[in-house]
Amino acid sequence: MVQETLARASRAVRVRWPALLQVATHIGALGPLALLAWDGLHGNLTADPVRAVILRTGKTALVLLLLSLGCTPASTWLGFRRAVNLRRPLGLYAFLYASLHLLTFVALDYGLDLALLRQALFEKPYALVGLACFLLLVPLAVTATRGWMRRLGKRWKRLHRLVYLALPLALVHYIWVVKAGVRTPLPYAAAGLLLLAARLPWVRRAAARWRKGSGRVGQRASG
Q: Please check whether residue 80 is in contact with residue 89, taking contact to mean a CB–CB distance below 8 angstroms.
A: no
Does some domain include residue 120?
yes
pLDDT at 196 over 70: yes
Q: How far is residue 10's CA from residue 99's CA, in Å, rounded to a whole number?
A: 41
Does some domain include residue 3?
no
Does some domain include residue 219?
no
Does some domain include residue 193?
yes
pTM summary value: 0.85
Q: How far is residue 188's CA from residue 94's CA, in Å, rounded to a whole number?
A: 15
Max mean pLDDT among 27-31, 74-78, 185-189 falls in 27-31
Does some domain include residue 67?
yes
Q: Radius of gyration over alpha carbons of the chain, in Å?
A: 21
Q: Which pLDDT belongs to residue 7?
A: 46
- Give me the mean pLDDT over the 178-194 stretch: 78
pLDDT at 20 over 70: yes
**What residue numbers bound the domain in which 85 lies?**
47-203
Of the candidates 177, 174, 198, 197, the residue with the CA atom closest to the CA atom of residue 186: 174
Q: Which pLDDT belongs to residue 76?
A: 78
Mind listing the pLDDT tens digit for each residue in 150-170?
998 889 989 999 999 999 999
The structural domain count of the chain equals 1
Mind listing the pLDDT tens digit for each residue in 29-68?
999 999 999 999 999 998 899 999 999 999 999 999 999 9
Q: How many CB atoms lie within 10 A of CB 8?
A: 10
Q: How many CB atoms lie within 10 A of CB 123?
A: 9
Amino acid, single-letter form, for residue 91: G
| b/e per residue 77-89 (b: at least 16 CB within 10 A) | beeeeebeebbbb
